[in-house]
Structure 1
Amino acid sequence: MNIGFIVYLQLCKTFINIAHSQVVHATPLIKLDKMALEASEENFLRLSLLVLRIAPRAVRQHFDKEFHPKVITKVLRQNYSKLHVLRDKRIISSSQLSLLFQNGEVSSDDLDIPTMFVLLRNLADVQITTHLPYSTDFTIESDLARLGFYRKQILHSQHKISNTDFKIFWDTITGAIIRLSDGNLKDECESLLKESSSGADEKGNITKQRQCDVCDFKNIKASSVVWCLNCDESLCQHCLDHHFSHKLSRYHECIKIEDYYKDPSMSTITCSEHKQQFDFFCEGHHIPICGLCVMNDHNFCQLIKPIQIAIKQSDETKHELYEKAAKLLQNVDVITKDVQGNLKSYEIEKGKVRGQLRSRLKAAAEEAEKLCLKEISHNENLANILFRNLSKHQKEIKRLLKNLNINKGQNVRDFISMLQIGDKIKEQEEKIQCLLKDKDINTSHVATDVDPLAVKNIVCSMREISLSSALNTLEESGAQQKKETGIIKMADFNVENKTNDNDIRGCAIINDNVVCFADRGNNRLIFMTLQGYQKEIKLTCEPVDIATVDHAKVAVSLYDNTIKIINIESWKWEDFSFSDENTIGGLAFYKNQIFSRVGGIGYLIIDLSGKVQQTLTIEGSNMPYVSVSQDRLYSARWDTGEIFCYDLQGKTNWKFENKSLVNPPNGITTDSEGNAYVTGSFSNNVIFISSDGKETKEIISSSKNFKNPIAIDYDKKTDRLLVSVASGLGCLFLMKNK
């Protein structure tokens, strides 16, 4: 960290004081004469003043046109939900959001450039790009984009800017400021450019002492002698004496001001949210935190320790981190080469597929052409035959007409010749009628319509082109679904193994985008979105089953005979707690109540306060899973192969058993109509049972990737079915018709 940055920090603090005193527009420019600076550092400092002090005022002039000061507070309140969505997407920070909804009226004077840009982009639909616009584009949006671009460039620089870059930066930024402010800020820009730095000797060394920050706040001039690391400010000797005599600052750590200049990095790093120094370290979130963080955002965290202890106990040294990063880079290089190889292979495969498609489509087109032209060609041949025969008869009739014209009918010879001509005309008439009686050669209509079904059958009869790679999922099971079930596969899931092999015993559809799997093999809950892995929650013991309570909560039964509920929005356990002396098994949630199998008793109906509302005494200990729909309870007994449907008083409505269809029945779930879906762990399938127990059919059949299915869940609102095998492969289906 260099001298320019020290001055920059001091200036930032001054700017904050100016903003709080609400005299931004009237305060004279800050002099650059406290320290001697190199030319590049002075360039950086001037540009920092320009983008931090003058540029926001130019942006505010346009901002106030889009959001009038009298209505800005009302507009923000109307868009409260939208702004919180932007925070969740990390488009706006929590501190910016808090500033927008602080007590009282909000003014543009309270907002910095990034915050104003967020509001202009998302609430006023002003198109402010993040890249530098063309130099010939002088629209308002382009000038705003220039200020945002150069502000980021300057504040993220190394606090030194060359004279060449300074001229480019200065001309571009001031041009945008002058245009946005209609020329009102031109004089201030020129005044800042002419401001001189007079605090250095010929060698550029510091010639004036830093002023005491406490005295400077009171407009008193006094040279500082120490820097307080806890307060992050300089003190003169007089203030230092008071500092050490005060109870709150008696034990603060101070260093000589000269030592601070040599290593400004010793300055205290503070919490961006509360502006307090970091005193603690949260191991759960792996971040340093301040005292206010402990009381607010981390009040439920258990692994919090003083930051100095955390620093001493840190195992990862700089060398270890370097080796770790180097190894990671090496692995990424290897993977990158593999991916590049795969990309080349994909191009080759695409060429092969294109060739196969074109040749097979050509063959299919030729076959379709033959089929479509077959009837026409047949009719054409018949028409040609008819034409030739008619032509012969036509010639013969013309000859007979000619003979009739010659015959004068004056003697017997002519009379006999006329009779013969009459017989031949009658013969021709009979022959022509005989030809026209054949329907196949009827020329009144020639069929030329193409039968689309025939063409479709030809195209569909083409062999499937096999690709070189396929998903290692339940693709085969999805392809083998019966047409009448109307099952459409929506997504595949693959839960990665941990220390032990996966043993997925429960699954649940939480909302439109999130599902959950209970892994008994590794004592964990795995939350996944339709796009992939989301989060893993470690459990104190093995999970038995899970059930969705609402779109953001999941109930889990554990082998320590307890039931807990986790909230996936806060990732914290709810206050709900239930335990029993007997083994707790499968779970279901229905009408704001939890239904749980309890070994040796039957089923308990528990409300969300943890109180048992009803007990259904049903024998059979090997009935781990349960589902509820249409005021009926469903369960499967894997040891006997029986599937039961009860009413909510425990009376049996129907029982189903067919070991040749499902063996043994294990996981069970139901849709909104009371139809049941059951997994067969050894038969490796899923069957459908109608609500009355009379109609059954297999809807997902066995395949090489569909081995030992257990967990199953049905979302009654969206008609989606989630199935998982023990190894961690899962598939989400849309049930179009049941």
Structure 2
Amino acid sequence: MTTEDKEFICGPCDYLQTPKTAVVWCPTCEEGLCHDCSVHHIAGKLTRDHKPINIDHYKEMPRKMIEEVKKCLKHDEIYELYCQNHKTHCCVQCVKEIHARCTGVTLLRQVIENIKTSAMVTEIMQELENRMGGLVKLTENRKKNVDRIDKQSSNLCTEFRRMRKAIESVLDEFESALNEEATSVKNTQSSKVNNSIDKIGAQKSVYKELHSNLQKVIAYGNNLQVYLAVKTIEEKLNRGDKELESLLKTASGFQEINVAFECNEHLSSLLTKNVKPGMVRTSCSPLKCEFKTPHGKEAQISSTNTGTTVSKLKIKTYVQTFQAHLSLSLDSSKTNISSIVPLPSGQTVITDYGGQQGVMLFHRNGSFNTRFNNLGSPYGACLIGDSVLAVSFPCNNNIKLLEIVESTCSILNIFRIKQSCYGLSFNSAGNIVAASAEPDNGIIVVGLNGQILKRVNLNLPMIRNVHCYRDKIIVTEFESTEILVFDPEGRKVITHTFNWEPDTRNICVDKHGNIFVCALNTEKVTVIPNDGNIRVDVLEPDDRLHIPKAIAYDKRTNTIAVAGRDGLFSAIYDIFYN
């Protein structure tokens, strides 16, 4: 917003109640001057070093930027001082309350005396130009993407028609070969049946001749001759019946022969309405056009909470092995630890997606307490209250709310999601965020009443783990080397890529914003610092860490808990902050 629509009155004339329109503006006195007053202003001993500007130029300046931010929002006083320690401007009250012990508090007007030619202004102008240039490139990149989408979309049908012609050509060849095969089958099988007809005809001729001969013997022979003829015919009938019975059992010509076309199952599936021969699929990848937004120096210096980075951590580890009677009952081929949740009570919950142990509960010292294995095969778990957990059961397509008190577990509610949900997290809005593969390939947000509030497709068909931190959603895929960070609308914010063999597993974030991730195959726990420094492997196989699958941050003790498996054994590792 500018001041161009405002009429400015000469300050001195207005004071004398003879208002005149201002033609210049004195930035030092912060008032307008008419022509006559401006002449006296320039000539006056106390004001001759002031540098008035044309009133039209003043009107072009944004009002908010030059007027409304002059005062401290907290104390409603003019900014008059500058703290060298914190590199920030302040009012008198700010100095008393915040900067009383700071050295180097000086007058703001002295600090900004030559600001127009200072490096600060030069740098910010350069930053703005860089941003504008970056946005121009980004716009060009997006326009090219639109053109590419247009071309690729147009090519879809062209490509399908090409594939269709190729398929028709193959089908024509197959039809020709099928016709030859059908003719061969017809000739072979018809020959077998015709051969059986010939045998039947021959036998029929024998019976016809016997019938005729018997009629003649009956008409002209004596009783003995008739008797002997009948006996002869009976013998021949018995012998003929046996021969015919043998033919009916063994000869291929005496079977019901049918010829039919059996369609290949892959081709048959294409002929059904429910199966599409293909689909239009979109894929996303990071921008090839970089748009850097570095943090300003002032913002970094004036921040009162910079967080604790990895360089400020002193890490200690110790192993808490589960009691032998549990370890011996674990079948490593069927046990699949998928999540770990430290409870406010000091106990720890670990889920076994393998289905053998279910939801396992451990004491403060890491020893086994009890298991709840009649719930199904749990995958993800997150704390939504002091003693209430949300636990996902992908095989059952539901999420259960469990209340765990001491050694008991009660089902408070069952949310029938009707799709597989894996990793769970609890966001700042008080809702459950679940990693869901088909059909979402992203996340779903579920209210505590079980209603699905939102679906965000991230184009990640193998998504398994999710963690919410402030307004960010951090996810990993199965057999991946990346950690992906999205905003609540599904826009990718950043990608962290690791030079290890795939398999990032579960993730968590501590109170300082440092991201911890389990690497299953390399058997490491790595931290991505909040300040962008070099990543650090905080736990490795030498620390007796084997097959790490689940990780969680415990706010109560300010530690990281990791669940892994060493043969038949499991362990919890804690990372202590200095």
TM range (shorter): 0.3 to 0.5
Q: Which has the higher helix share?
A: 1
Q: Which has the higher strand share?
A: 2
TM-score by length of 2: 0.41
TM-score, normalised to structure 1's length?
0.33
